[in-house]
Amino acid sequence: MHFNTLQHLQQELVAGRVSCVQIVESYLENIRNNKHLNAFLEVFEAEALANANQVDKKVQNKNQGKLAGLVIGLKDNISYTGHAVSSSSKILEGYTSVYNATVVDRLLDEDAIIIGRLNCDEFAMGASNENSAYGPVLNAQDNSRVPGGSSGGSAVAVQANLCRVALGSDTGGSIRQPSSFTGTFGMKPTYGRVSRWGLLAYASSFDQIGPVTSSVEDMAAVLEVIAGPDENDATVSETAVPAYSKNLKSSGKKRIAVFEDCLTADGLAPEIKTHLNQAIDALKADGNEVEMVSFPYLDYMVPCYYVLTTAEASSNLSRYSGLLYGHRSTEAHDLESTFIQSRTEGFGPEVKRRIMAGTFVLSSDYYDAYYTKAQKVRRIIQQETEKILKDFDFILLPTTPTEAFKLGEKANDPIAMYLADIFTVQAPLAGIPAISLPTGTMDSGMPFGLQLMANHYEEQDLLNMSKYLFELMED
Partner 1 sequence: MGTAAEKYEVVIGLEIHTQLLTNTKAFSSDEAEYGAMPNTNISVVNLGYPGTLPRHNKEAINMALKVGIACGCDITPYCLYARKNYFYADLPKGYQITQDKTPLCENGFVAIKKENGEEKNIELTRIHLEEDSGKSIHDMDMYHSLIDYNRAGTTLIEIVTEPVIKTGEEAGLFVSEVRKLVRYLDVCDGNMEEGSLRCDANISVMLRGAKEFGTKVEVKNMNSISNVRKAIEYETARQIESVEANIPVVQETRSFDAVKGETFSMRAKEVATDYRYFPEPDLPPLVVSQEWIEETRNAMPKLPGELYKEFTTAYGLSYYDAQVITENKETAQYYLQILEHTTNYKAAANYLMGAVRGYLNRNAIELSDFALEPLQIAEIIRLIDEGVISNAIGEQTLFPALVENPSRKAKELAEELNVIQNSDDDFIIDLAQQVLADFPDKVDAYKNGKKGLLGLFMGEVMKRSGGKADPQIATKVLKEVLGE
Q: How far is the CB of 320 from partner 1 (least distance, A)?
A: 8
Q: Which residues pair with 209 in a beta bridge?
A: 169
Of residues 293-332, which lie at the interface with partner 1 (CB under 8 A)? 311-312, 314-315, 317-321, 323-325
Stretch that binds partner 1, among 262-270, 284-292, 296-304, 361-369 (CB under 8 A): 361-369
Candidates 124, 138, 140, 200: give the one binding partner 1 (CB under 8 A).
Answer: 200
Q: Please list, residue by residue across 402-433, b when 16 or more beta carbons sit within 10 angstroms of its beta carbon and e when fewer do.
A: bbbbebebbbeebeebbbbbbbbbbbbbbbbb
Between 102-109 and 216-226, two packed helices, what is the crossing angle to 10 degrees? Answer: 110
CB of residue 235 to partner 1, shortest distance in Å: 6
203 near partner 1 (CB under 8 A):
yes
Q: Is 137 in the site for partner 1 (CB under 8 A)?
A: no
Alpha-carbon distances of 74 from 144, 268, 285, 405, rounded to whole Å: 24, 32, 40, 24
Q: How far is CA 146 from the centre of its chain?
A: 16
Residue 436: helix, strand or coil by DSSP?
strand
Query: Could you say whether residue 344 binds partner 1 (CB under 8 A)?
Result: no
Residues 6+ apart with CB under 8 A from 279: 396, 439, 450, 469, 472, 473
Select from 19, 34, 51, 79 the one that contacts partner 1 (CB under 8 A).
79
Q: What share of the chain is helix, strand, coil (3-state, %, to 5)?
A: 40, 15, 45
- Say if CB 463 and CB 219 are below 8 A apart: yes
Q: Rounded to the nearest whole angstrom, what is the least distance from the CB of residue 324 to partner 1 in the complex?
A: 6
Determine, following the binding rule CB under 8 A, whether residue 118 of this chain makes contact with partner 1.
no
CA 260: distance to chain centroid? 26
CA proximity to 314, closest of 368, 359, 372, 352? 359
Q: Is residue 342 annotated as part of the catalytic site, yes or no?
A: no
User: Among residues 44 and 371, whose Cβ is nearest to partner 1?
Assistant: 371
Per-residue x/- track, 407-446, partner 1 (CB under 8 A) = ----------------------------------------
Nearer to partner 1, 309 or 460 (CB): 309
Q: Which of 150, 314 has the CB closer to partner 1?
A: 314
Let me know how many helices (H) and strands (E) the chain has, helices first: 16, 11
122 is a contact residue toward partner 1 (CB under 8 A): no
List active site positions: 75, 150, 174
Binding residues for partner 1, per CB under 8 A? 77-79, 85, 87, 92, 95, 97-99, 101, 196-201, 203-205, 231-235, 311-312, 314-315, 317-321, 323-325, 335, 339, 359, 362-364, 367, 371
